[in-house]
Amino acid sequence: MQQLKNDRYLRALLKQPVDVTPVWMMRQAGRYLPEYKATRAEAGDFMSLCKNPELACEVTLQPLRRFPLDAAILFSDILTIPDAMGQGLYFETGEGPRFKKVIESASDVAKLPVPDPEDELKYVMDAVRTIRKGLNGDVPLIGFSGSPWTLATYMVEGGSSKAFTKIKKMAFADPNALHALLDKLADSVILYLNAQIAAGAQSVMIFDTWGGVLSPRDYKLFSLQYMHKIVDGLTRENEGRKVPVTLFTKNGGMWLESIAATGCDAVGLDWTIDIAEAKARIGDKVALQGNMDPSMLYAPPARIEEEVAIILDGFGEGSGHVFNLGHGIHLDVPPEHAGVFVDAVHRLSAPYHKA
């Protein structure tokens, strides 16, 4: 087993003692960094960057050269699985992801293959292997996937959506078709994440970006039960170490107890819930990740530090907190503000971890 020089991120997820609160940022490898923009230009476009293991490794490592982050996250996209199912992913300038094929019926679902992660998605596994080598044991590598519900929204809507009318029409008018799709996606995610773990990911995260558009009953029916199935199917130990699993539902504050009951190790929080409240509700069961509003990084450095202090105080003493933004870092945030954020978390959290 490769010894990690800094394993505080993994230790915090397992609620083991740490010296300071670990921190990383969703989308930490991304468009707010000029060096990322240069590498993406070299690749030609976003998917070409994802599918080039060397360049995917380069952009994964870029933020770690700038900031003392406690984890690296695989550079990829949540829509790799639908693309590998033959949906034809492409990106429209200013409009985000689109699919050439759209799922409209049970017969469309029946035709979808379950992708082989070491075949159709081998470029992702090659990226994981390349990044692990590049990290050289400095910090752990996080693998990830979209949740079945979130992937299904893009596959049925054909891209991003504001009202989610097509997928909700399927949910309520043809629920059997949607459940068949979600079940197939859950099977695909289990294979995909287990392959990432086998390739070297030391922790995995499931992003349920659109779970918060569902009613409480429908969230459990169409989103949570499939994430629970994935958690049950994951490899939880590799290389002689536990592989922690984090579930993140944006706007999921209503359902924290149900999310924690899946058997995951950590629950990701967006900024719409107070971390002290989240800790009171589920902090004895799981670790918490979050939860500063990404827009706070537009603020002056003193205000960023103040917000970090407020969130640290909200969580309080002891391990079990991974500091993060409540969602991805915005593309026009000054990189030096991200640096202020990371440094503030480490500096201000030390008193909360005195033995």
Binding-site residue ranges: 27-31, 77, 154, 209, 327
- What's the Cα-to-Cα distance from 326 to each of 133, 249, 258, 269, 285, rounded to whole Å? 29, 10, 19, 6, 20
Task: Please tell me the distance from the alpha carbon of residue 23 to that of residue 115, in angstroms, as a whole number.
Answer: 33
27 counts as catalytic: yes
Pair 339, 67: CB distance under 8 Å: yes
The two structure tokens encoding residue 310: 């407020």
Residues in the chain: 355
**Binding site for substrate, residues?**
27-31, 77, 154, 209, 327
Alpha carbon 137 to chain centroid, angstroms: 21
- What's the Cα-to-Cα distance from 278 to each of 65, 72, 207, 272, 319, rounded to whole Å? 33, 25, 18, 11, 15
Tell me which of 8, 27, 98, 132 is the catalytic residue: 27
DSSP state, 144? E
Reduce the DSSP state of residue 237 to 3 states and report it. strand
Tell me which of 9, 36, 154, 226 is the catalytic residue: 154
Tell me which of 77, 83, 126, 208 is the catalytic residue: 77
Can the peptide bond before residue 52 be classed as cis, meaning omega within 30 degrees of 0? no
Task: Please tell me the distance from the alpha carbon of residue 320 to that of residue 282, in angstroms, as a whole number.
Answer: 11
154 counts as catalytic: yes
Nearest CA among 109, 133, 129, 110 for reference residue 121 = 129
Q: Specify the amino acid at residue 23.
A: V
The two structure tokens encoding residue 58: 């380069």
40 counts as catalytic: yes
Q: Do the strands 237-238 and 203-208 form a parallel or antiparallel pair, or are they unpaired?
A: unpaired
Tell me which of 31, 236, 281, 303 is the catalytic residue: 31
Cβ count within 10 A of residue 307:
18
List strand residue ranges (DSSP E) for 232-278, in order. Answer: 237-238, 241-242, 245-249, 266-268
The two structure tokens encoding residue 238: 């590799």
Q: Do the strands 241-242 and 321-325 form a parallel or antiparallel pair, or are they unpaired?
A: unpaired
Alpha carbon 306 to chain centroid, angstroms: 26
Q: Do the strands 245-249 and 203-208 form a parallel or antiparallel pair, or are they unpaired?
A: parallel
Catalytic residue numbers read 27, 31, 40, 77, 154
